[in-house]
Amino acid sequence: MPIFTKNLKIVVVEPLGEINLGSIARLCQNFEVDELRIVSPRCNPKHPDALKMAVQGRSFLENASIYPNLLESIQDCVRVVATCGRIDHGEIPLQTSANALKWLTEDREASSKPIALVFGREDRGLTNLELQMAQKVVTLNASSNYPSLNLSHAVAIILHELNSYCSNSHSSNEIKKYTSASPKELNDCVEDTKELLLQIGFLQSHTANARMAKIKTFLHRSEPRQEDIYILRGILRQIRWFYKNKSFYSTSYKGDN
């Protein structure tokens, strides 16, 4: 029996097809996922075609939580992996599924906290902004001539692979002593940074998102921990405090205070 799944959320963004959604619900039951979350569905999760495809996974459709956007749907999740089938994913580094899925489950502390796998739209995947909300982005190996997998096939492949890591290597898990920053903590930190960089003129509003994407990618690569984010937020606060209260060139720096 899968062991990871008591806290695994499958998040599907703006699904278009009832058959796909129903198939995904069946997979949730096949792999004992905790919950199906749907962001702004473009089809009816309780449509007869969906319920038929779900077979024994109907309850995932009936109990699915609906969210207005991706960020809200992963707010409580400590580790988030997104999937990307597109070639034009900009600066966002792609991981092998092995890397990302082992990472998703390796944190014993997180084993009681929600984790999420995010899947994009049938017609155009996830936007770059959405990909940046995940700590890791995976792509699946298929033919370069026709890499576009059916949505539920992507879910099947990822869940089966995740399950095989959990059943193989559970006992050899390293215990991590730190807490990873949640996507929300990271996102808030990035927004705070962006605001400061706009204020001091490092960013201009029309190019801010592109430059911040690079910074965000950089932060993601370091797999930031909560304490890293505390330090970064502390630096931002101190910069603002110093601007307000001191003059940079009038106060000479004293070595030891």
Does 87 help bind a second copy (rule: CB under 8 A)? no
Q: How far is the CB of 67 from a second copy (least distance, A)?
A: 25
Q: Do residues 82 and 130 lie in contact, with contact meaning Cβ atoms separated by under 8 Å?
A: yes
Q: How far is the CB of 72 from a second copy (least distance, A)?
A: 26
CA contacts within 13 A on the Cβ side of 201 = 0
Nearer of residues 44 and 164 to a second copy, judged by Cβ:
164
d(CA 225, CA 218): 14
Q: How far is the CB of 56 from a second copy (least distance, A)?
A: 5
Among 59, 63, 65, 148, binds a second copy (CB under 8 A): 148
d(CA 60, CA 57): 6
Q: In what order do the strands lie in the sheet with 35-39?
A: 65-67, 35-39, 8-13, 115-119, 79-83, 136-138
Nearer of residues 108 and 246 to a second copy, judged by Cβ:
246
In the numeric block, the tokens 């936007």 are attached to 127
53-72 residues in contact with a second copy (CB under 8 A) are 53, 55-57
195-254 residues in contact with a second copy (CB under 8 A) are 197-202, 204-206, 211, 214-215, 218-219, 221-224, 227-228, 231, 234-235, 238-244, 246-249, 253
Q: Which token pair is 229?
A: 């984010």
